[in-house]
Structure 1
């Protein structure tokens, strides 16, 4: 399956961006700008069931990773300098990273367990309710006061295009567990519901570089863009 890929910038290095649940390639807007300014060609992908990518009510994390790899190999020449995955996109990146082989892999507030064995209809109903809320500008302004108008526009469009059945399929099989590879980078909010303190300590022990942004939201660059950029000197050199 080929996914929708939005390429921008003309730099000699490539950076791949994988968004979280109910997001889209547009969710990375401010990060994309900073990457372009730093000399990257940016490749932002819509994951299955998101944005303008195909829907797939039988998908899985591994199938989404296969689609990302196929899309990158079809549309991109040369190695990846950076690959970033946020939340669910981090799970997909972990399943694809061995084939993508980026110089730097960054996992952003990404939980390392997706519980399987869920009820399909209940999940679809839950995700549909989330989709409806996120498609309302007034709700976003109240629930995400750190969103600027550009972010609100992007997230409303993402919610309108989000397919609950595709996302529900990810949680119908076995549990999906993964761990960032040693040498990779984890950026977590502090506190974080997705990467708690104990998990962060275990990652550091395993040779993963953990960067913390106090007070950040789950989508850390929306609430703390400058701190997010400063936390990644490997990606955004001074």
Structure 2
């Protein structure tokens, strides 16, 4: 297995949750890490929490001009992780078309724009974050499942098109991250408790669980075109 020591790692969506955990794991492994997101304040807080000289970049994956400019101004990256997404929750008929389009634009087209513009070293890696709803749809999250499936299909094609760059995806299940922060605390705790009781492992996931999977894909030179599902058994329960 390869080492991340002295490699350049960019985590888009690295200011919180899964992305922040990936950035921390990479920095602790000796990588030179840059975290990017839309919020300068969140980036500053995350960088202070992670330490290890982590750099920050304000970047909106919805802005293609900004994305292209960012990659043009930076040296090629050894590893790119795209975990940023803002997707609406709800069924097809309860969600407005505007929210549906915005969700697809954020998670799918945001990743597409980033990878399209990215300059990578030969043998570098790109890891996309999808979600287990691509395999086990939910009646209340039809669009999210479709977006995740589209991301995984994109990943497989890119693994061929961009070789020798290795392209993979990590598919999380229910993960307790700041994504749920807008939910009332009592309701959030009950949701997590119910989800945990339905899983073979008996708990919901943590951001670090996903960071472990991303780390594996970065250092394993024989992994490309793969989806690593980390869902506590959610797809089979």
| TM-score interval (norm. to shorter) | 0.3 to 0.5
